[in-house]
Structure 1
């Protein structure tokens, strides 16, 4: 029994059958119809996008017995012989196996002779970049000025390796990767013609896994038909590819959003029961993180795509834009590191723990401010936001922002007005209050905890607690997190206290800023200690060395 694989059975026989590549087909069709075809054409592009197929159709168009045109008949002896791979005037060369200069010279020795049966002798050199430098040099003269009866069709997946002298002698056509929709529509057409049952999920998976290559898509379809005993359904294709259903990926993403390690490992166990390829799982997560970012920053794009918009919009509210970017980067790095792990599941679990452990840090200070206490200026310059929040304090009405307090200063804060005069602001009764310790002790997790760490109290007494969120961290604010935080504070401090929250520039340091400043001070102290060490100074002088501050780390 002889079975012809789908990739060969469904190879296009005319330009109208080619999927995609309309920019190339239009140029070639016009050139053929007006008899203005160049003698040397170079087709470039990734594997399986139609380079060799288009070259063979071009050979048929040039040698069709009905005449030169962009629509060869496909029925004459020449067209049939080319389709069957036995046309004597179409010389196909695999440059990967004939790289030596002697092979090229032997090929060129026959260029001068007229074609045996056709109009043109067509040389189709595949993977031309594999030729040696000497072979390219031997080819140059003939490539530039071939006999009138000769056409050169070159194909390569790596045009960067071709000498510029070869590129300058050819017309170059860059074939694009096919879209998922183009591949899927062709798979549907083939399955309908072959009368094979299938479902939409399976076709989406196959079209995505083809990665822009129609030949890869048809090879996978052949494999799926064999795997499913003549049927192509989503469950079988997932099992064949080593991928898992979207609901398992959704569970992983939601566990990260809720900062819940127990739920995360439960989701990993559920996914592992399906025996997935964890590299494929990472690819799925990258796709979802990308779509979540689109929902936040470019929602109009999402409306044009057939995605689970309801879940994406609901889940995107649980992440900040910075978190999604960080998680995406961790996943990308994890793809590189996964093969180095003891086993793929351990590497994947460590990757998930990394996402739980790391959070985007606060932004660096952007504005220089001045502290004035007891009439003396201090050189300390804590971070101050330049952005306006939802509510604006008096500092934004004609005055410069008030600098945040240092923990070593008293609770009276002054601001410098534009006229240069000192004006004392309302004293805030915060003496003896430790907001940082309270914020860390609250029974909240995830982004709600981060929200607490990026705010500072402005008024705090027995009846009232007024909190100000750093405007730099406005992205992590949501009304749901505000309600959760207020509930946790009232539970901790007593239900009678009135808690209010607004977005502005806090007059004192937030816990996150305090931690950042302490880290910076410890680093500066460590660098100063190394720089002033006598032994280090002697080594620097003796060896003409230099100290890289980036290599210095404070002792834990």
Structure 2
């Protein structure tokens, strides 16, 4: 028998063998047990997560002897035929090479025939998003109302390219990337079955490089066995695939947190000269910073595969930084990752990103200044509170002289001359009369010439009874403090007047 690679040899055969997709397995098991089988299923997920394997297991569960049942024997003849792809009742179609309307018309013609051995005739279309719009439209009617003995199973990595009318006629299952720990444990299981000594650190490095795909991890292990033989170490994994060790990632992160720019640039130079993939190193660095950020917000979080000793040192180095500083460094490296994807000189952009991240960690922000001032304010002694002074009400305040509005009177029409009447000066002037005299003294406002000073004998004459003020409300006399009032002084300066005493 020819050699069979690990990805095919250890492909899942039952629902129990499917790893990392518990939500899909549980739903399918319950649907089979409750006999709530849909006529069309759609499996969506990244490569190597088990879409084709899950579709074949579902086909076995539907067509197994005595089925449908979730716990079937994978060694039955029908199940073996389905696993090997030679069953007449399970047709696997490649959507990339059979994407035209003619192929869909042939499928519609074959749908009418009954299954040969099983209970259902199952059509599995891989990469269904490659079908043309015309092919999708030709399949709509058959997909909506297929015969009772027909089941459709679709698989794709890009569900956004499938027409909404197709999506609405299927039960969709999203397969997630498999966790790194699950992949590492499964690789250890395969190594034990094959008699290979696989170090735990090497298994973790392979699982980390597989990025959630079990098939990629199995292919990498197969390649390492051909390179190393029966014993595989982490150094072998790093040499073959150009990965960066967790120690190097922790060292670079530590140099970043200590703001040691020369040490960080020297490490990047060594990694570039040794042929390491700098984009992969940048992704590992972002993952380590992300783990530190999560650890600041949740102290119970783990170190994302970094050894405990290195992780404790990184936690200590990150204590002096607030979460927003680490988040700013992650943003800088995210922008750097986008530029490195299309740049020819990746090392230059990586080094620039490291320098910017170190500057962002050391810069002083307004929030830091406010925090320092807030801390200093706590040490300032405060005087005991004193009772506030009573505020005088408006009624208790002394009356303040008001300035009447100055209005230029209209020029009256000429009247016949009358005998001149000498005005009599009153002995007591109020504040308003004093202001009136100031206004009359301003030449630019008052057009009439000032009245002549009355002779002394006129002041001695008694006032008429009609003009005498009532005895009940005598006018206040004007004291010298009146002229010291700021309002009076400003009025005198404004109107260039004089005080007549």
TM-score, normalization by structure 1: 0.64
Q: 1:57 corresponds to which residue?
A: 57
Q: 1:207 corresponds to which residue?
A: 207
Q: In the TM superposition, what are the counterparts of 1:384-399 in structure 2 within 5 Å?
A: 388-389=374-375, 392-394=378-380
Report deviation, 1:216.
1.5
Q: 1:22 corresponds to which residue?
A: 22
Report deviation, 1:141.
0.9
Taking a change above 3 Å as real, the CA distance of residues 341 and 357 of structure 1, as seen in their structure-2 partners, is farther
Q: 2:249 corresponds to which residue?
A: 249
Q: 1:328 corresponds to which residue?
A: 330
Structure 1: state its 5+ residue gaps.
Answer: 367-382, 400-417, 422-556
Q: 1:320-359 CA deviation, whole Å, 9 max, x = no partner? A: 4333222211211111212444533333223223334445
Q: In the TM superposition, what are the counterparts of 1:538-553 in structure 2 within 5 Å?
A: none
Report deviation, 1:5.
1.1
Q: Any conservation in 1 of the 2:278–2:346 contact (CA below 8 Å)? A: yes
Which moved further from structure 2: 159-168 or 50-59?
Answer: 159-168
More strand by share: 1
Taking a change above 3 Å as real, the CA distance of residues 22 and 396 of structure 1, as seen in their structure-2 partners, is farther
Report deviation, 1:110.
0.8
Structure 2: state its 5+ residue gaps.
Answer: 392-501
Could you tell me which of 309, 313, 316 is aligned with 1:314?
A: 316
CA distance in 2 between partners of 1:189 and 1:246 (Å): 23
Q: 1:351 corresponds to which residue?
A: 353
Taking a change above 3 Å as real, the CA distance of residues 216 and 342 of structure 1, as seen in their structure-2 partners, is closer
CA distance in 2 between partners of 1:255 and 1:13 (Å): 48
Q: 2:418 corresponds to which residue?
A: none
CA distance in 2 between partners of 1:91 and 1:289 (Å): 48
Larger radius of gyration: 2
SS of the residue corresponding to residue 317 of structure 1 reads coil
Q: 1:412-466 CA deviation, whole Å, 9 max, x = no partner? A: xxxxxx99x9xxxxxxxxxxxxxxxxxxxxxxxxxxxxxxxxxxxxxxxxxxxxx
Establish whether residue 186 from structure 1 lines up as the match of residue 186 from structure 2.
Answer: yes
Taking a change above 3 Å as real, the CA distance of residues 392 and 174 of structure 1, as seen in their structure-2 partners, is same
Q: In the TM superposition, what are the counterparts of 1:435-474 in structure 2 within 5 Å?
A: none
Report deviation, 1:139.
0.8
Q: 1:255-278 CA deviation, whole Å, 9 max, x = no partner? A: 333333333333334434543111
CA distance in 1 between partners of 2:52 and 2:101 (Å): 23
CA distance in 1 between partners of 2:384 and 2:214 (Å): 64
Q: 1:507-526 CA deviation, whole Å, 9 max, x = no partner? A: xxxxxxxxxxxxxxxxxxxx
Q: In the TM superposition, what are the counterparts of 1:71-82 in structure 2 within 5 Å?
A: 71-82=71-82
Establish whether residue 40 from structure 1 lines up as the match of residue 37 from structure 2.
Answer: no
Asked which structure has the greater RCO (Cα within 8 Å, sep 6+), the reply is 2
Q: Any conservation in 1 of the 2:128–2:155 contact (CA below 8 Å)? A: yes
Q: Any conservation in 1 of the 2:242–2:276 contact (CA below 8 Å)? A: yes
CA distance in 2 between partners of 1:181 and 1:352 (Å): 30
SS of the residue corresponding to residue 173 of structure 1 reads strand
TM-score, normalization by structure 2: 0.71
CA distance in 1 between partners of 2:184 and 2:95 (Å): 32
CA distance in 1 between partners of 2:133 and 2:263 (Å): 59
Taking a change above 3 Å as real, the CA distance of residues 186 and 288 of structure 1, as seen in their structure-2 partners, is same
CA distance in 2 between partners of 1:169 and 1:261 (Å): 57
CA distance in 2 between partners of 1:365 and 1:278 (Å): 34
CA distance in 1 between partners of 2:155 and 2:382 (Å): 64
Could you tell me which of 337, 340, 355 is aligned with 2:339?
A: 337
* Count of paired positions: 388
CA distance in 1 between partners of 2:370 and 2:347 (Å): 43
